[in-house]
């Protein structure tokens, strides 16, 4: 228990002291997670809506593909992305390997299937009469989609939370394409892995606590939003 | 004019609607009647341009707007001329006021005008006190009234109603139909409603059409029975069991069919008459309904429930009363099969 208590005390001390390195890691982690979540949801939510509402040839196969991608190991994602972004890879010219952009791209690849699959499920859960009613009242395709999204907004908010939670806790891809470079690509998860390996359990635990607090804050924000929506 | 032409519609390979032509002329008030599963709701969804028919097309003023060989999808402009209220309508999240204004808002109508129209339609449908309520604060009947008012707020040319009074008590149904009648007096509006309430259909509609197993019945909707025709030689007089009676039919068909007897083809008397009618059934009057001036619908239990139509004078001459004796007679050739 002393071990855990020490970790918590250290986390608090680090945060209160405004340790520059820790602050940098937290800021980078948030920057990567928010960027990846926004991009993944901007693509994934409409894709999920499309999958859920539009009949097209190969729809079942598309669903299978998206659902399979949900279980895709993040280290494999990182490995493939490493191949694409390495100097000899097709995207090597971008010079993104070992940058925060590479980590964000990896996180987008990981969060996109989550956003698409879960939003498709959320939209499929909406009463089909909502869509028909919007259409019969003269709503355009966008307005109809918006009416359905409003009905599914709690589920869609949960999708965004799940995507954010996934990318903020992701380590496999971040380690491979980010390289865990101090002051540049070191995120909370890669830092935790590093400090644990170096025997700095207290520091690793402190960063773990910060990660948990971030996840908790996102969930609280969602619950506050839901509470307001119910009011 | 809104019409379905050569429409055959299937769900999962099963034919649910098969109509050569079904038209809703401008200003008409048509009631579709038929048992559950007869295709009424599907028909309304096709008319509302919400589904593409598997075969055939939907036309608006003679122009194909949905389906056909090109598998065309309806434009927003076409869809905005027709509005459907489903049997169990849903209200969107938000207040009744927001729901009533939805169709106007999506048309880009200014907020002041939206509020004016909403207040007006709410007053006509007696739902002004509900304007600031949310959907979970409404009864089923209130939701139905709000949904009908919401559909009329956008002033469609054709209003499609699926069992509009299914959740309403008699008073609420009267008010609903009264408001619809007033709306039709106010402006040109065609209404096509699906109902299983024959009385409502006859009372409020100008034209009553029956649907059975996805097909239009050649006769009015009473006296429809699902039967199994036995195999027999062509042109045979067959006796088909319906309930506890056997109805004589002239047909060379076999297999499943809908048997129909038009109420106007049934002779009504107090005692059996000597005639050429092959079908003579004695029973008791269960109900007398004056649904139109001068016309009485006589419902009798003759082993199954059959309905006949007589003039008010004839009903008086025969001294028909509920519970009193009656004989129904009709020719085998008057029985239709489809």
The 10s digit of each residue's pLDDT in A140-174 is 988 999 999 999 988 898 899 899 999 999 999 99
Q: In what order do the strands lie in the sheet with B224-229?
A: B224-229, B255-261, B335-337
User: Which of B88, B106, B150 lies closest to A139 in CB terms?
Assistant: B106
CA distance A187 to A214: 13
The domain boundary residue, chosen from B166, B183, B216 = B216
Question: What is the distance between the alpha carbons of residues B280 and B303, in angstroms, rounded to a whole number?
Answer: 12
Structural domain span for residue B51 = 2-216
Residues B126 and B45 in one domain: yes
The CATH number assigned to the domain holding B266 equals 2.40.50.100
Residue of A nearest to B155 (CA): A137
* B16 and B99 together in one domain: yes
Residues B205 and B239 in one domain: no
DSSP state of A54: -
Cα–Cα distance measured from residue B155 to residue B120, given in angstroms and rounded to the nearest whole number: 12
Whether residue A150 and residue B106 make contact (CB cut-off 8 A), yes or no, is no
The predicted structure's pLDDT at residue B161: 94
Regarding whether B203 and B138 lie in a shared domain, the answer is yes
**Chain A residue closest to B75 (CA)?**
A140
- Pairwise CA distance, residues A205 & A211, whole Å: 10
Q: Is the pLDDT of residue A8 over 60?
A: yes
Instruction: For residue B142, give the CATH number of its domain.
Output: 3.40.50.300
Tell me which DSSP letter residue B205 carries: -
Q: What is the pLDDT of residues A42-74, one digit of tens each?
A: 999 999 999 998 888 888 899 889 988 888 899
Tokens 């060379």 — which residue?
B252
Mutate to test the interface with B, among A131, A135, A136 (most CBs of B within 10 A): A136
**Does residue B277 share a domain with residue B157?**
no
Give the integer Cα–Cα distance in Å for B299 and B66: 42
Report domain extents, chain A.
Answer: 2-225
Q: What percent of chain A has pLDDT over 90?
A: 54
**B281-311 as b/e, with b when 16 or more CB fall inside 10 Å?**
bbbebbebeeeeeebbbbbbebeeebbbbbe
Distance of CA B70 to the CA centre of its chain: 30
Contacts A132 to B, Cβ<8 Å: 45, 48, 50, 84, 86
Mean pLDDT for chain B overall? 88
> What is d(CA A177, CA A81) in angstroms, rounded to the nearest whole number?
7
Question: What would the mean pLDDT of A129-136 be, rounded to a whole number?
Answer: 94
Average of pLDDT values for B176-193? Answer: 89
* Whether residues B25 and B156 fall in one domain: yes
Among candidate residues B85, B334, B77, B70, the one with its CA nearest the CA of residue B218 = B334
- Higher local confidence (pLDDT), B170 or B114: B114
Residue A56, min C-alpha distance to chain B (Å): 14
Q: For the range B305-314, what are the long-range contacts, defined as Cβ-Cβ under 8 Å and sequence gap of 24 or more?
A: B306/B222, B306/B223, B306/B261, B306/B266, B306/B281, B307/B222, B307/B223, B307/B263, B308/B263, B308/B264, B308/B266, B308/B267, B308/B268, B309/B263, B309/B264, B309/B266, B310/B268, B314/B268
Q: With contacts defined as CB-CB under 8 Å, which chain B residues touch A140?
A: 76, 106
A155 in reach of chain B (CB within 8 A): no
Domain shared by B13 and B158, yes or no = yes
A123–chain B nearest CA distance, Å: 15
Shortest CA distance from A148: residue in chain B = B92
Tokens in use for B71?
Answer: 């598998």
- Neighbouring CB atoms inside 10 A of B269's CB total 16
Chain B partners within 8 Å of A137 (Cβ): 83, 102-103, 106, 150-151, 154
Tokens 């589904």 sit on residue: B51
Which three-class secondary structure string do you get for A94-125?
HCCCCCHHHHHHHHHHHHHHHHHHHHHHHHHC
- B280 has a pLDDT exceeding 90: yes
The confidence score (pLDDT) of residue B235 equals 62
Q: A8 CB near a chain B CB, below 8 Å? A: no
What proportion of chain B, given as a percentage, has pLDDT over 90?
A: 49
pLDDT at A231 over 50: no
Per the CB < 8 Å rule, is B93 touching A150? Answer: yes
What confidence tens digit (pLDDT) does each residue in B113-153 have? 999 999 999 999 889 999 999 999 998 889 999 999 999 99
Confidence label for A215 from pLDDT (cuts 50, 70 and 90): confident
Q: Domain check: are B7 and B136 in the same one?
A: yes
Residue contacts between A and B (CB atoms, under 8 Å): 53
Q: Do B165 and B92 sit in the same domain of this protein?
A: yes
Residues of chain B above pLDDT 70, percent? 96
A209-213, B152-156, B207-211 — most confident range: B152-156
Nearest to A10 by CA among A171, A213, A190, A210: A210
Mutation target to probe the B interface, by most B beta carbons within 10 A, among A135, A137, A143 is A137
- Mark yes or no for CB contact A136/B48 under 8 Å: yes
Domain boundary among B168, B200, B216: B216
User: Rounded CA gap, B325 and B92, in Å?
Assistant: 54
Residues of B in contact with A143 (CB under 8 A): 106
Nearest Cβ partner of A137 from B45, B88, B103? B103
Stated as kind and residue range, the H or E segment containing B227 is strand B224-229
Continuous segment of H or E residues that includes residue A143: helix A141-151
- Cα–Cα distance for residue pair A60/A113, rounded to 1 Å: 15
Residues B106 and B208 in one domain: yes
Q: Are B239 and B289 in contact (CB under 8 A)?
A: no
Does residue B210 sit in the same domain as residue B81? yes
Average pLDDT score over residue span B43-56: 94
- This complex has an ipTM of 0.74
Residues of B in contact with A151 (CB under 8 A): 92-93
Q: Which pLDDT does position A143 carry in this prediction?
A: 92
Terminal Cα-to-Cα distance of chain A (whole angstroms): 42
The superfamily CATH assigns to domain A2-225 is: MetI-like (1.10.3720.10)
**B75–chain A nearest CA distance, Å:** 9
Q: Taking phi first (over 0 means left), then psi (-120 to 50 degrees means alpha), and beta for anything else, what does residue A179 get?
A: left
**In the 8-state DSSP scheme, what is residue A160?**
H
The residue of chain A nearest to residue B89, with distances taken between CA atoms, is: A129
Task: Look at residue B233 in the predicted model and tell me its pLDDT.
Answer: 60
Q: Which residues of B touch A (CB under 8 A)?
A: 45, 48, 50, 76, 79-80, 82-84, 86, 88-90, 92-93, 102-103, 106-107, 150-151, 154
What average pLDDT score do residues A5-12 get? Answer: 75
Cα three-residue angle B57-B58-B61, rounded to 5 degrees: 130
- Chain A residue numbers with beta carbons less than 8 Å from the beta carbon of B90 are 127, 129-130, 133
Residue scoring higher pLDDT (B275 or A13): B275
Strands B207-212 and B14-24: unpaired
Mean pLDDT of A35-44: 96
Please say whether the beta carbons of A222 and A37 come within 8 A: no
DSSP conformation class of B317: H
Asked if A143's CB is within 8 angstroms of B48's CB, the reply is no
Residue with tokens 């007696």: B126
Residues linked to residue B30 through DSSP beta bridges, in sequence order? B192, B207
Nearest CA in chain A to B51: A132
Q: Which two tokens stand for residue A206?
A: 């402190």
**With an 8 Å Cβ cutoff, is A129 touching chain B?**
yes
Least confident of A31-40, A171-180, B191-200, B271-280: B191-200
Whether the pLDDT of residue B252 is over 70: the answer is: yes
From A126's Cα to the closest Cα of chain B, the distance in A is 11
Give me the number of domains chain B comprises: 2
From B258, B253, B249, B252, select the one nearest B214 (Cα to Cα): B258
pLDDT in tens, A78-113: 999 999 999 888 998 898 999 999 999 999 999 999
CA distance linking residue A178 with residue A187, whole number of Å:
9
Final residue belonging to a domain, choices B199, B216, B233: B216
Q: Is A133 on the interface with B (CB under 8 A)?
A: yes
Tell me which chain A residues have a C-beta less than 8 angstroms from the C-beta of B83. 136-138
Q: Which residue has the higher pLDDT, A219 or B281?
A: B281
CA distances B235 to B109, B226, B243, B279, Å, are 64, 21, 24, 17
A129 and B90 within 8 Å at the Cβ level: the answer is yes
**Of B270, B249, B231, residue with least CA distance to B338:** B249
- Taking contacts as CB-CB distances below 8 angstroms, the residues of chain B near A136 are 48, 50, 79, 82-84, 151
Tell me, what's the pLDDT at B227? 84
B131 and B209: one domain?
A: yes
């Amino acid at each position: 228990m002393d071990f855990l208590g020490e970790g918590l005390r250290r986390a608090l001390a680090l945060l209160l002291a405004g340790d520059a390195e820790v602050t940098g890691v937290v800021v980078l982690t948030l920057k990567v997670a928010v960027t990846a979540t926004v991009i993944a949801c901007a693509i994934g939510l409409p894709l999920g809506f499309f999958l859920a509402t539009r009949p097209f040839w190969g729809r079942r196969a598309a669903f299978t593909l998206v659902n399979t991608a949900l279980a895709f190991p993040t280290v494999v994602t990182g490995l493939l992305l490493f191949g694409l972004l390495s100097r000899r890879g097709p995207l090597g010219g971008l010079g993104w390997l070992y940058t925060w952009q590479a980590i964000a791209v990896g996180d987008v690849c990981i969060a996109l299937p989550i956003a698409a699959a879960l939003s498709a499920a959320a939209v499929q859960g909406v009463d089909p009469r909502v869509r028909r009613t919007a259409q019969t009242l003269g709503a355009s395709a966008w307005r109809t989609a918006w009416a359905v999204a409003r009905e599914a907004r709690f589920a869609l908010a949960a999708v965004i939370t799940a995507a954010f939670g996934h990318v903020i806790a992701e380590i496999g891809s971040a380690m491979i394409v980010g390289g865990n470079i101090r002051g540049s690509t070191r995120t909370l998860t890669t830092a935790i892995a590093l400090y644990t390996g170096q025997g700095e359990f207290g520091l690793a635990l402190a960063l773990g606590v910060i990660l948990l607090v971030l996840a908790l804050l996102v969930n609280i924000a969602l619950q506050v939003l839901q509470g307001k929506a119910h009011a | 004019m809104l019409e379905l032409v050569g429409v055959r519609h299937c769900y999962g390979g099963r034919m649910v609607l098969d109509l050569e032509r079904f038209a809703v002329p401008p200003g008409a008030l048509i009631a579709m009647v038929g048992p559950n599963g007869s295709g009424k709701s599907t028909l309304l969804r096709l008319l509302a341009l919400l589904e593409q028919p598997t075969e055939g097309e939907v036309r608006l003023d003679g122009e194909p707007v949905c389906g056909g060989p090109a598998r065309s999808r309806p434009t927003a402009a076409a869809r905005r001329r027709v509005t459907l209220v489903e049997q169990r309508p849903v209200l969107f999240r938000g207040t009744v006021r927001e729901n009533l204004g939805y169709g106007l808002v999506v048309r880009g109508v200014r907020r002041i005008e939206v509020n004016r129209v909403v207040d007006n339609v709410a007053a006509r449908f007696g739902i002004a006190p509900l304007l600031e309520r949310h959907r979970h604060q409404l009864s089923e009947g209130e939701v139905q009234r709000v949904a009908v008012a919401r559909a009329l707020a956008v002033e469609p040319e054709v209003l499609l109603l699926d069992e509009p009074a299914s959740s309403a008590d008699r008073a609420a149904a009267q008010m609903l139909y009264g408001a619809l009648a007033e709306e039709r007096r106010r402006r040109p509006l065609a209404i096509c409603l699906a109902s299983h309430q024959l009385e409502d259909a006859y009372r409020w509609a100008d034209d009553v059409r029956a649907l059975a197993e996805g097909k239009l019945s050649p006769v009015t909707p009473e006296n429809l029975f699902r039967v199994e025709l036995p195999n027999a030689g062509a042109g045979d007089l067959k006796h088909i069991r319906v309930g506890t009676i056997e109805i004589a039919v002239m047909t060379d068909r076999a297999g499943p069919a809908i048997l129909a007897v038009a109420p106007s083809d049934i002779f009504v008397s107090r005692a059996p008459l000597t005639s050429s009618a092959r079908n003579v059934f004695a029973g008791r009057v269960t109900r007398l309904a004056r649904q139109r001036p001068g016309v009485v619908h006589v419902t009798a239990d003759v082993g199954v429930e059959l309905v006949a139509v007589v003039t008010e004078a004839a009903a008086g001459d025969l001294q028909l009363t509920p519970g009193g004796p009656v004989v129904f007679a009709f020719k085998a050739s008057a029985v239709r099969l489809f």
